[in-house]
Structure 1
Amino acid sequence: MSQQDRNPRKAPVAVIGGSGFIGSNLADSLLSDGEPVLVIDNFSRSGVEQNLEWLAQKHGSRLSVETVDIRDGSSLASALAPAKAIFHLAAQTAVTTSLVDPAQDLDINLKGTFNVLEAARRMNAPVIFASTNKVYGSLPQIAVREADDRYEPEDEAIRANGVAETIGLDFCTPYGCSKGAADQYVLDYAKSYGLPTAVLRMSCIYGPRQFGTEDQGWVAHFLLSALDGRPITIYGDGKQVRDILHVSDAVAAYRGLLGRIEDLKGQAFNLGGGPHNAVSLRALLSEIAAMTGRDVTLRHDLQRTGDQPFFVADTRKIEAALGWRARVPWREGVCDLAEWLLRHRLQPRPETARYVA
């Protein structure tokens, strides 16, 4: 089915990985504005059924669901056929898992994305792809110095603005390679086939509907661990810095980019909280302890492969392109997530929390 054959008022927007954290928030935003949404997911992640149930109860018949694994190209193409646009957020998301099982990581992140692109090419449907700051590697070219509770770049421009898209790609770990290669495939389908595609290279997104695990979703996992009285393992000294972005701001960026996809196709944009929402692990843990009124028990282990001492996204490119900016200050956003987790958190899990940025 070509894009011209669809009735744009009835054709759904597909959210692949739509029962996950960012996907369910994105689906909710679209549905709340009257857009029909098709959620495609294999429901392999713990807790996502709760997100889907929430969407179904809130939005009813405007939501449709297909249980499909993106590694199954034929089933995926059939499921996507009615859609007028595609947000691709499904992925193997953990660096640690990619190191244990690189073949699975490759199949999901690269072959799965290829299947999405091939289906979209047949449909001539736009694709917005969720990439990662890991495509920039461990950033050894950015010299850092130690401050009181954090690392900060020696370079004044990076300190003020963050890391720009021009820093250059440098894949590290199987996860970085699979996501980075997928990132480049998405951009190339705009060059080679004229497909309206774009990439968002995300820093650390957090917020409601995030059930963090020891390997992914570290802001939520830190909060869950503090609320449940479980120790947290920090890999390294805890001075690593990330710019954290509330999911409502991430959703606004995804939707804004789709709205201007014809003008911005073939481009990659960094997406994060920027310098105003940059926080070290130590500072975040102190804030969580104060917020929850509970002491946080820490354990330390060696720094992990591919870790970035400092990553703060330079968001000036996406700000200029969309008029977008991060609106939720990090302390306010973390408080929002803590309140949501108190109401909705899953049963405590026995494992120790671990940091994966």
Structure 2
Amino acid sequence: MKVLITGGYGFIGSHVAERFYKEDDEVFIIDNMETGDKHNISFKHKNYHLSVEDPNCEEIFKAIQFDVVVHLAAQVSVAKSFENPITDTESNIVGLVNMLTLSQKYKVKKFILASSAAVYGKNDQLPLLEENQCVPISPYGISKRVGELYCQKWSEMYGFESVCFRFSNVYGPRQNSNGEGGVVSIFINHMLEGKALQIYGDGEQTRDFIYVGDIADAIYRASHSSISGVYNLSTNKKTTINEVVSILKKMHDEVNIHFSPAREGDIDHSVLSNRKVMDDLDWSPIYDIELGLEKTYQWAVVDQAQKEVAVSVADQTEKAKEWTHIIQPFKAYLENLVVFLIIAWLVLSHRLSVFNATDISAFYIMIMGALYGSKQSILSVGLSIGLLIVEKLSEGREFVSLLYDTSFFFQVSLFLFIGLVVGYTVQRKTNRLQEQQQKIDELKQRYHFLGGIHTEVREIKDELQLRLLNTEDSFGKIYSIVKELDELEPEKVFSNAVQVVQQIMDAEDVSIYVFNKNQTFLRLVANTNFLETSHKNSMKVEDTGYIQNLLGTGGIFVNKELLPNTPIMAAPVYHNDQISAVIMIDRLNFQNVSLYHENLFKVTTELAGSALDKALSYIDAIEADRFIANTDVLKQDVFQKILESKREAREKYGMPYVVLEGENPDTDTDLGAYSTKLSALLRETDYIGQLDNHQVGVLLSNIHQNDVQFVLSRFYEKGIQMRLKEGEI
């Protein structure tokens, strides 16, 4: 089962989604993420980041044929509804109407609306029953009541099945601190944070607290039931605020309480009767207040610990990043300096035995240049030259004498040469590596970009495939339905064609009329609603304006002016490059009278017409084999197939027919003359054939029994004796 949950990332929505998922249903979520949290759901599902009032929601309904819609998305704060009633209306009324309309349009089997006890207002008739008067005192309560009325009206107008659950005060894991229903969440959060619990009034005000798990279970049960209408969803038990605090004290010893004056407008007592939902749904709440609060508290403790760990790790990571950011620019210089100090100590303390000072300095310059490039190699050269000067001076040399010492200049030159060559070489390599890394990064970005596009295209492809397979007016469904037209008997094609057009166009009335040879008359050959509507069995072309229009243009006729006694749409069917029949639809939903459905009708009738043209061409090709030689009498097997098609059309649509039986002439010559005589008295839609008893039969299409006597009398006047064999209506 495919279930759409609006507001599915919210407190209640996530529990409802989890309940359906555990039952192996496919879960889809629409959420604008204003209050929802994706971390509330960890299982596989499909989500859409949209507001419920967004027109783009229709694309989702088109692509996926939902079985159940659970509408939980709403603005839930009573205080905010006073501050901004327009926003409250957009979310709670406009959004609901959008979901309700789309659910009805796309054949959702069950629509479940989350309403609220706020619809009752200040009502002292406790416990509150569904039949009690609703006088909401807040814009939030008004919007919820209006939502219920919309569901009721949709049920009256369209027979659309919906359930409206009036929640009492819901609590449980994942609840935030918004709204009156969040009092449990507020208390537990304050307890864990060491804050005082704020109680307005004396704490003896009562509420009907219901655990969120019981809410999810009731919604799941309702999706598989036949109930509809308005139901309270509650425990039918009063619980004071002081009792809630007392239970929480048992779980958390140190609890400070602060009493404040009662808030204006607060309801003192509230409890909803759940007798109706218990009787009709066979449901009852499982969690009492003690067990529900214990589970909520345990979850909150774990959640807070996880948040604290996450915050601590994030702080440590951030500090480490800051310290690293400060040290990083000076890291190479510090390492260079440490290495130089070690070398200086070795040189000046005369601890070198294998290498002399020049060798170790040259090696030091090479290492620094190889590791860090030209900057550090030049710095190493400078430090090495300084160390060389200090070493010479420590041996008793004068600084001026060094300016004339060729060995000193050779050593300095060696240091510079090594530093410049190694530094340049390494720097060049480093630059090339950086260029390559930059190219790699660019390619990675391009890869990620193309990967994102690929994923998006795959999702669109999958969605289009879903449309093709599931959407009522998709070409995928057209293709699957039109397979029924894969017949070679025209009468069978007529019967199936009206069914195909009816299913695709969602029209109550579909008819097919065929022209006579000179296109002056049309005869009715198939209709989907024959018994409930009156149809002309034949029409004269010169008396029918829209048929003349259709013959003149050769295209689809659309009754845009809503002319009386005229179908909504009519399309020609061609055979041998000539209009041979007309497909008409009537009693179409007004919302389907559009250019889109006009094009859909054109495609559908072309496919049906193609099937009929193929069947007629086949009949033309084998016509000689269908008749007894030199007669107009169909062979027994051919006549029986046509008769079976007529029987099927009568069973499906109530299309009447009559079979008359006559006597066979003595010779084939007499049979040919006899059949010619019969043909002159019949219409284009009637047939002469051999019955299973080898007698000659006449099949009269679309004729009532009260007209049979008139036909028999006509035959009698021409010397033809016949009797009724089959055709009760």
TM-score when normalising by structure 1: 0.81
CA distance, structure 2, for counterparts of residue 88 and residue 281 of structure 1: 30
Match of residue 173 from structure 1: 138
Aligned 1:299-310 pairs, distance under 5 A: 299-305=259-265, 307-310=266-269
Aligned 1:220-299 pairs, distance under 5 A: 220-260=185-225, 263-265=226-228, 267-275=229-237, 278-299=238-259
Match of residue 611 from structure 2: none
Query: How far 1:249 moved relative to its partner?
Result: 1.0
Aligned 1:37-48 pairs, distance under 5 A: 37-45=27-35, 48=37
Match of residue 64 from structure 1: 46
Q: Identify if the C-alpha distance between structure 1 residues 167 and 215 changes in structure 2 by more than 3 Å, giving closer, same or farther.
A: closer
Contact 2:78/2:179 (8 A) holds in 1: no
Match of residue 79 from structure 1: 60
Q: Which secondary structure does the structure 1 equivalent of 2:35 belong to?
A: coil
AA in 1 matched with 2:273: D
Contact 1:131/1:183 (8 A) holds in 2: yes
Contact 2:202/2:259 (8 A) holds in 1: no
2:102 maps to which of 104, 119, 124: 119
2:15 maps to which of 25, 30, 40: 25
Q: Identify if the C-alpha distance between structure 1 residues 215 and 347 changes in structure 2 by more than 3 Å, giving closer, same or farther.
A: farther
Gap runs ≥5 in structure 1? 1-7, 143-157, 349-357
CA distance, structure 2, for counterparts of residue 214 and residue 301 of structure 1: 19
Gap runs ≥5 in structure 2? 309-729
Task: Give the % identical residues.
Answer: 26
CA distance, structure 2, for counterparts of residue 51 and residue 197 of structure 1: 27
| Alignment length (residue pairs) | 304
Match of residue 38 from structure 2: 49
CA distance, structure 2, for counterparts of residue 101 and residue 274 of structure 1: 32
CA distance, structure 1, for counterparts of residue 34 and residue 155 of structure 2: 30
CA distance, structure 2, for counterparts of residue 311 and residue 182 of structure 1: 22
Contact 1:94/1:216 (8 A) holds in 2: no
| 2:306 matches 1:316 | no
Cα deviation 1:164-223 (Å, max 9, x = unaligned): 112221111111111111122122211222111110000011112223336552212211
Q: Identify if the C-alpha distance between structure 1 residues 105 and 50 changes in structure 2 by more than 3 Å, giving closer, same or farther.
A: same
2:114 maps to which of 130, 133, 136: 130
Contact 1:214/1:221 (8 A) holds in 2: no
Match of residue 151 from structure 2: 186
Cα deviation 1:23-52 (Å, max 9, x = unaligned): 111111111111110011011116x12213
Match of residue 155 from structure 1: none
CA distance, structure 1, for counterparts of residue 243 and residue 20 of structure 2: 34
Q: Identify if the C-alpha distance between structure 1 residues 258 and 235 changes in structure 2 by more than 3 Å, giving closer, same or farther.
A: same
Taking only aligned residues, the RMSD between alpha carbons, in angstroms, comes to 1.8
AA in 2 matched with 1:296: N
Match of residue 79 from structure 2: 96
AA in 1 matched with 2:275: R
Q: Which secondary structure does the structure 2 equivalent of 1:245 belong to?
A: strand
Q: Identify if the C-alpha distance between structure 1 residues 246 and 118 changes in structure 2 by more than 3 Å, giving closer, same or farther.
A: same
Cα deviation 1:62-88 (Å, max 9, x = unaligned): x1111110121x112222331221000
CA distance, structure 2, for counterparts of residue 237 and residue 191 of structure 1: 46
CA distance, structure 2, for counterparts of residue 296 and residue 184 of structure 1: 44
AA in 2 matched with 1:337: T
Query: How far 1:299 moved relative to its partner?
Result: 4.1
AA in 2 matched with 1:67: H
Query: How far 1:252 moved relative to its partner?
Result: 1.1
Match of residue 353 from structure 1: none
Greater RCO (Cα-Cα under 8 Å, separation 6 or more) = 1
Q: Which has the larger radius of gyration?
A: 2
Contact 1:235/1:304 (8 A) holds in 2: no
| 2:91 matches 1:108 | yes
Q: Which secondary structure does the structure 1 equivalent of 2:73 belong to?
A: coil
CA distance, structure 2, for counterparts of residue 316 and residue 302 of structure 1: 31
Query: How far 1:303 moved relative to its partner?
Result: 2.1
Query: How far 1:272 moved relative to its partner?
Result: 0.9
Q: Which secondary structure does the structure 2 equivalent of 1:186 belong to?
A: helix
Worse-matched range after superposition: 22-31 or 184-193: 184-193
AA in 1 matched with 2:187: F
CA distance, structure 1, for counterparts of residue 250 and residue 264 of structure 2: 28
Match of residue 342 from structure 1: 301
Contact 1:241/1:279 (8 A) holds in 2: yes
